[in-house]
Structures are given as structure tokens and as C-alpha cells.
Structure 1
């Protein structure tokens, strides 16, 4: 199940409401979906497996401690605390992914590492449309062209 679909199943409770076994199990399902989403995002980002895999293993260990509860079971403080532990492990993975992205950006932006090409075009349509279009394209890349980003800015000005 997707993370969004899983989160949509969660319910809010207020003081005095019974916490049901499904509340714990739905949270467990969401944590598993979050784990899968974080693992996929780390792989997509190219995060080194030697950094991410141990964190995912820690998250898996935390998830394994969360008890499967059924109707009639007493929800124990540990049931809640193990969920908190798993969420903290998920946060650690997210922090590592963010750190990896940041290091990539810093490497690309390091002086001498950028190769910039640009193109500028202006188009004027008058008098029927009374429209001026200005377009600017730019590519920022590493000298080896391994990493690049294309930007396109278009400005439309109506002249009256």
C-alpha cells in the first residue's frame, strides 16, 4: 500500500476514546510504507548503500519489535514506544538522504565545477496581440556533463 493511502486510513482520537488494535496496526503499516518509500528514495538519489543499508536494518529491527495486536489485547506503553523508535530511525534515514543531496549540490557548485551554456530569444508580436515574449534557456552542468540541470524562463508581457 502506498504511504499516502496508508496515512489516509489513520484516525484521530481524543481524550477518552478507545485506542483500537487497528490504530496500532495501521500505524505499523504506515511505518512499513515509509520504510519502503525512504529506501526507494535513497536508491533513486544514489546514496551509498554502505551508509543507507545499516540505517534501514536498524529501522527493520525497530519495526520487528512492534507487536501485532488484535481485538481485546491491551495496548501497552511499549506498543507506542516501539512506534516512536521506528519513526526516529526513519528520520535518521531521511537526514542521511538530505545530507547526501546537500553534498552533491556542494560538489556541483564548487568553484571551477560548473559549465554554463545559455540561449536568449525575444519575440515581438504587434499590433494584433500586443504581446512581447522573452525566453531564456540555461544549462548548468559539471564539466564532464555527468550532472546537469536545464532551466527555461519565459516572460510574457502584454503591451497596451
Structure 2
């Protein structure tokens, strides 16, 4: 007797387009996150010195690190999951569960980053070009995470067809 879990599922081609979209967006998001973190690290030492004198600076430094980390983790998870789903045969249940996990993580990371990296909370500072570029890049990552979340919803729904 063959157990239903032992059967190799047929490859479902319905979610291919959203998965390819997720892979491209997530990969580009990882590139952007790397660029942003590299730019922010140029001001890390100055921020640490300033945080000794001001609790507000210390809190902003901690929030900067936390939001960049959450966005990067979501992008890594999204990239790896989409590549895994594109290259292997999984049943509908696995596909849907992975889609739900990834869309939840992406949405939460977007919300976390959006509360800090936005026009009203971030001030462009003259003569700190790389820092200003990191602000703009982080705002772009927030937008990418929104697109990734929508693409995961589409991939999850299309796995039923």
C-alpha cells in the first residue's frame, strides 16, 4: 500500500511567474540591503561615540541595526524559499505553508522597517551623502518588501490551480 506522502507530486507550474518575481525582487532587495548596511557602517563609529552622550542617539542606532537586520532576514528567507520552490517538487501543502511563512515574515519586516525608514522620521543631513543614500535605499527596501509580500500571496493562491 502506497502512503499519500510517499507519492512524488507533479510539478505545479501555476505559481512560476510569481515565484520568479519573488526571486528577482528578493535578490535585488538583498543587494540593496548590502549597499545600505555598507553605507551606514561608515558612520557607525561616530554614532557609537555620540550614543555615549545621548540616549536618543543610542536608541536610533539600535533601531537602525534592528530594522536593517529584520529586512535582511526577510529577504534571505524569501530568496531561499522561492529558489527552493522553483527547483524542487513539493506538494500543495508545503507550497502553501512556505508561502504563508514568507508573506508573513516579509509583511512584518516591512512594517518594522516602515515605522523607522520613512520621510517623516528620517532627516536628510547635509554633507553626509552616504547616510542620505542609505536612507533612500532603506525606503526602497520597504517598497520591495511590499511587492514581495503581494507576490507571495499570488504564489500561495496559484499553487491551488
Fold conserved (TM > 0.5)? Answer: no
Give the number of the structure whose residues are more often strand, by fraction: 1
**Interval of TM-score (by shorter of Structure 1 and Structure 2):** 0.3 to 0.5
The alignment's TM-score, normalised by the length of structure 2, stands at 0.38
Give the number of the structure whose residues are more often helix, by fraction: 2
Higher relative contact order (CA 8 A, sep 6+): 2
